[in-house]
Structure 1
Amino acid sequence: MGATIMAAGETANPQAAVRTVMLFAGQGSQYYQMGRELQASDAVFRASLARCDQAAGPVEGRSLSQIIYGRPMAESAGFDRQIESAPALLAIGWSLAQSLFARGIRPDLLLGYSLGETIAATVAGVLTLEEAFSLVFENARSFEALLAPAAMLAVLAPAARVMALPGVAAARAELAAINSPQHCVLTLPRAGLAPLMAALEAEGLVIAALPVRYGFHASLLDPAEAAVTAAAARRHFRRPAFPLFSCATAAPLAVLDAAHLWQVARGPIRFEAAIRALAAEGRPLRFVEAGPTGTLAAFARQVLGAQTLALPAINQFGHDLRSMALVEERFR
């Protein structure tokens, strides 16, 4: 069942001169210990994580909090099992949003990146927490059962330049995301990762392999289409409390349904295009990232200019309370 979303331009705060966009990150942004300082010191964040632990239930005998905080950050390269990382990102994104709401920061719209679209929909009330966790668990089991090992590689260079390199074709890599004029992501079979990394490093490019096991946003995901679509079709999608904008279509989300969620997982992520489409509507924008790294906020500044107000709620460098305080100071 689909849910009709608010029309383009309709916002939760139509009189505001500046629109606040809340960003939600996707797979690959996870790391152990994310939000640790908030978990220890912020009552709303801690209670929200406890609510997520309850809604998700045990994951192979452990709570989500135990998974997130049970290992040191230095071991985060191993935080790549979908059945752990996807619900962990949902829990962190939802809990960060609750903490931001408690500080009086109310978005005019929500923009999710890949899995972040499911997180945004959950924050907006389209799915209950229980429904959202059930969906990500079901998808994770389908990916484990149906997909071959794959890799995703972030590249600090224009997409057109990267895709023209011979090593990319040789590795059977596909363009998975365009995040800014100088940043893109490739998806490829796992066997081609080492040769491609060597080829790109020989070109002098800065690269980073993402902690994922499957080939999102590319044809490598196709064997899971029937299972992922059927899982979404069994859910009930409600009208959102906030307007949603999609990185899959670079447009306001008119209907959230199984077909759209498959497009989000299978199609390329168009983050740069989404940010430019929002800017083209003519009203000033500011961005707060309710995700673990602050990478999406950085991409927004790369797209719209360094003067753009785009801040992370937390990041992987610690000082979560300081980051939250800065957001509260600049956004209220």
Structure 2
Amino acid sequence: MCSIPPRPWQLLVISAQTESELKTATVNLTDYLRQHRDLKLRDVAQKLQCEQQAFKYRRMVVCRDIEDAIVALTDPRRLLTNIQETQKRPVAFMFPGLGTQYVNMALELYQVEPLFRACVDYCCEFLKPLLGQDLREVIYPLGQQQQQLVSDNSQGLDLRKMLGRSQTPTDTTIVAATSLLNQTHLTQPAIFVIEYALAKLLISWGIHPAAMIGYSIGEYVAATIAEVLSLDEGLRLIAARAQMIQKLPRGAMLAVPLSLTEISPLLNDKLSLSAVNGSSMGVIAGEIEAIEVLERKLTQKGLACRRLETSHAFHSQMMTGASTDLCKLVRTFNLQAPKIPYISNVTGTWITASEATNPDYWVKHLCQAVLFAPGIQVLWKQQYPILLEVGPGQTLGSFAMQCLENNPAVSQLILPSLRYSYDKKPDLAFLLKTLGRLWLAGVEIDWAGFYAQDSRDYLSLSV
């Protein structure tokens, strides 16, 4: 195994009892760094995190080195500030499903976070004989020497990638790898592995989910984190399920701006409700020709429909061909009652112990619609949590924001953990910003856990 390099990004946190004290502390820290440019930013960050008392007025910034910190601390566009109210909110994990995966997702975390890498390595080694493929070669096709994601130029959005323009030789490799990753029998295990590893990393930093909700494959991650399935069982199940689906007839899926009431009359023996993502956001799945006819019909009515990039009609009656084999496999597992509450895709409310441990439930989960919108509303009304999307992109955050649109403050409580594919921000900087925002919101970070893989002494700093 190659050695783990140090984190190239650091999270600075500042806290004070009043707004004026916070401003003074920021200025004092900036002046101190100007006078001590030979310091290691990692030592400064750890001192602030571990020895500073957390008061009501809080500020955070993510930066690269001492010089970058001096600039960032005087840049209001990079500084994030919050007044922490006395009420602490729980955190709920949201695990996305297929559609947002991309080659090199979480590459920098794999490079610099030992726990994340250990989880990915274990899962991929376990899956090797089941898939006949090392998933690491699929997710990270250029190997671990691909350092451009941690370079100084990795900022902003890649417009060329967003628009699909001219490709370099590296891009050609990525296109081929993307085609491979998007094969169902590899996509589903890949999503599972990355989301599981990311969840374990966050938990090690003290971000413990009070509740969870998964979307399609994401529910398998939630069930594994909740210990309904052991990790080995979760990996076996997700690999077998994906291979079963791969053998089924191909299908199509169409996102439609319609309510459940408006969708129902459109359904028949060739078209099924596949997902309820919002009050007027649904997905219909079925046979390719039937979806094409429906798309033309709705488009002619002026409705903005969107075909999803999928090979099969997931969560539809076209999945029933895999139900018998899936049920047989699940019967071999030692399913347990969930240790962390999570929302069921099948019922749109809290899963019960009897459902989670019943093999028939997992067949229903395969063939029935994902009731995300009702589920997120139930989760929100009971706990009013910070919603943390644990996986690539921000699709579930977008869905949740629309489902909870009556609450204007909710956008501040929906956070991502991994960038979109076209976002060039470094993975670690992206995640540390979210960690900082959680701290701003009053979540207690386990800084000892954050530095568990790094036992080096740090300086005595007076600011």
Q: Does the TM-score normalized on the shorter chain lie above 0.5?
A: yes
- Number of the residue aligned with 1:81: 183
Are the equivalent residues in 1 in contact too, given 2:253–2:313 (CA < 8 A)? yes
Match of 1:330 among 437, 443, 449: 437
C-alpha displacement at 1:95, in angstroms? 0.9
Q: Aligned runs of 1:239-258 on 2, under 5 Å?
A: 239-255=337-353, 256=356, 257-258=358-359
Distance 1:49 1:124, change over 3 A: same
| C-alpha distance in structure 2 between counterparts of 1:107 and 1:300, whole Å | 17
Cα distance change, pair 46–67 in 1 and its aligned pair in 2 (3 A): same
**Cα distance in 1 between the residues matched to 2:108 and 2:183:** 24
Q: Hey, what's the Cα distance between the residues in 2 that align with 1:106 and 1:27?
A: 24
Residue 105 of structure 2 is matched in structure 1 by 34
Of the structure 1 ranges 45-54 and 262-271, higher mean CA displacement relative to structure 2 is found in: 45-54
Deviation, structure 1 residue 129:
2.1
When residues 267 and 60 of structure 1 are mapped into structure 2, their CA distance, relative to the original with a 3 A threshold, is closer
Aligned to 2:370: 269
How many angstroms does 1:54 deviate by? 1.9
- Map of 2:96 onto structure 1: 25
Q: Which residue of 1 aligns with 2:128?
A: 57
Q: Note if contact 1:171-1:192 (Cα within 8 Å) is conserved in structure 2.
A: no
- Size of the alignment, in residue pairs? 312
Aligned 8 A contact 2:277 2:399 in 1: yes
- Quick one: structure 1 residues 53 and 78, their matched pair in 2 at CA, closer, same or farther if it must change by over 3 Å? closer
2:235 matches 1:133 = yes
> Residue 156 and residue 46 in structure 1: after superposition, are their counterparts in 2 closer, same or farther (change >3 A)?
farther
Correspondence 1:1-332 to 2 at 5 A: 17-58=88-129, 61-70=132-141, 72=174, 76=178, 79-145=181-247, 147-161=248-262, 172-255=270-353, 256=356, 257-281=358-382, 283-305=383-405, 306-308=408-410, 309-316=413-420, 317-319=423-425, 320-331=427-438, 332=443
CA shift, 1:17, in A, is: 4.4
Q: Which amino acid aligns with 1:65?
A: R
Distance in 2 between the 1:202 and 1:171 partners? 23
Decide whether aligned partners of structure 1 residues 312 and 203 sit closer, same or farther in structure 2, where only a CA change above 3 A counts.
farther
Change (3 A) 1:226 1:171: closer
Decide whether aligned partners of structure 1 residues 204 and 289 sit closer, same or farther in structure 2, where only a CA change above 3 A counts.
same
1:170 and 1:225 map into 2 onto residues whose CA distance is 20
Amino acid at match of 1:135: L
Q: TM-score if structure 2 supplies the norm length? A: 0.62
| 2:194 counterpart letter in structure 1 | I
Aligned partner of residue 290 in structure 2, secondary structure: helix
1:31 CA displacement? 2.5
CA drift of 1:125 comes to 2.4
Shift of residue 157 of structure 1? 4.4
Q: Which runs of 5+ in 2 are unaligned?
A: 1-86, 142-172, 444-463
157 and 315 in structure 1: CA distance in 2 versus 1, 3 angstrom threshold: farther
Query: Could you tell me which amino acid in structure 1 is paired with residue 368 of structure 2?
Result: G
Which letter does structure 2 place at the counterpart of 1:138? A
1:204 to 1:291, Cα distance in 2 relative to 1, 3 A: farther
The CA RMSD measured in Å over matched residues stands at: 2.5
8 Å Cα contact 2:92-2:386 kept in structure 1: yes
Report deviation, 1:75.
6.5
Partner-residue secondary structure (3-state), 1:72: helix
Q: Aligned-pair distance for 1:176? A: 0.8
Point out where structure 1 has 5 or more consecutive residues left out of the alignment.
1-15
- The two structures have a TM-score, normalised by structure 1, of 0.84
Shift of 1:161: 4.1
**SS of the residue aligned with 1:252?**
coil
Going from structure 1 to structure 2, the CA distance change for 1:88 and 1:23 (only over 3 Å counts) comes to: same
Structure number with bigger Rg: 2
